[in-house]
Amino acid sequence: MTTPVYENFINGHFLKNQSGDTFAVKNPATDEVIYHVEIADEFIQNAAIESAKQGFAAWSAMTPIERSRILLKAVAILRERNDELAKVEVLDTGKPWQEAECVDVETGADVIEYFAGLAPAQVGQQQMVGNDFYYTRKEPLGICAGIGAWNYPLQIACWKSGPALAAGNAVIFKPSEETPLGAIKLAEIFIEAGVPAGVFNVVQGAAEVGQWLTANPNIEKVSFTGEVGTGKKVMASAAGSLKDVTMELGGKSPLLVFDDADVSQAVSAAMLGNFYTQGEICTNCTRIYVHKNVYQQFIDELKTRTEQNIIAGDPMDPEVNLGALISKKHQELVLGYIDKGIQEGATLLTGGKALSPASAPNGYFVEPTVFVDCKDDMTIVKEEIFGPVMSVLVFDDEDDVIQRANDTHLGLAAGVFTKDIQRAHRVIHQLQAGICWINSYGNSPAEMPVGGYKQSGIGRENGIETLDHYTQTKSIYVGMSNIESPF
Which among 26, 138, 160, 221 is annotated as catalytic? 160
**Phi, psi at 435, each rounded to 5°:** -125, 115
Alpha-carbon dihedral sign for residues 360, 362, 363, 369 = positive
**E strand spans, 39-155:** 126-129, 132-140, 143-147
Active site residue 248: yes
Active site residue 461: yes
Calculate the alpha carbon distances from 352 to 31, 335, 349, 370 in Å.
Answer: 21, 7, 9, 8
Q: Which stretch binds ligand NDP (CB under 6 A): 50-58, 69-77, 83-91, 225-233?
A: 225-233
Give per-residue burial for 254-273: e unless 16+ CB within 10 Å, then b.
bbbbbeebebeebbbbbbbb
Please report, to the nearest 10 degrees, the dihedral formed by the alpha carbons of residues 277, 176, 71, 163 taken in order: 90
Calculate the alpha carbon distances from 371 to 278, 303, 339, 368, 392 in Å.
Answer: 16, 10, 11, 10, 6
Choose which of 8, 98, 214, 331 interacts with ligand NDP (CB under 6 A).
214
Choose which of 207, 448, 478, 480 interacts with ligand NDP (CB under 6 A).
207
Calculate the alpha carbon distances from 377 to 84, 255, 294 in Å.
Answer: 45, 17, 23
Choose which of 47, 71, 147, 238 interacts with ligand NDP (CB under 6 A).
147
User: Smaller CB distance to ligand NDP: residue 101 or 178?
Assistant: 178
Choose which of 245, 282, 355, 385 interacts with ligand NDP (CB under 6 A).
282
**244 forms part of the interface with ligand NDP (CB under 6 A):** no
Please report, to the nearest 10 degrees, the dihedral formed by the alpha carbons of residues 158, 163, 165, 167 taken in order: 180
Active site residue 160: yes
d(CA 144, CA 325): 30
Determine how β-strand 410-411 pairs with β-strand 453-454: antiparallel
Residues 372-411, one symbol each (x = binds ligand NDP by CB under 6 A, - = not), give ------------x-x-------------------------
- Cβ proximity of 268 and 437 under 8 Å: no
What is the size of the binding site for ligand NDP (CB under 6 A)? Answer: 30
Choose which of 196, 415, 457, 459 interacts with ligand NDP (CB under 6 A).
457
**99 forms part of the interface with ligand NDP (CB under 6 A):** no
**176 forms part of the interface with ligand NDP (CB under 6 A):** yes
Active site residue 374: no
Which among 113, 178, 248, 384 is annotated as catalytic? 248
**151 forms part of the interface with ligand NDP (CB under 6 A):** yes
Q: Which stretch binds ligand NDP (CB under 6 A): 8-16, 246-254, 357-365, 398-406?
A: 246-254
Contacts of 344 (CB under 8 A, 6+ apart): 375, 378, 379, 380
CB 34 to ligand NDP: min, Å: 16
**148 forms part of the interface with ligand NDP (CB under 6 A):** yes
Point out which residues bind ligand NDP (CB under 6 A). Answer: 147-151, 174, 176-178, 206-207, 210-211, 214, 225-227, 230, 233-234, 248-251, 282, 384, 386, 412, 452, 457
- Which residues have a catalytic role annotated? 160, 248, 282, 461
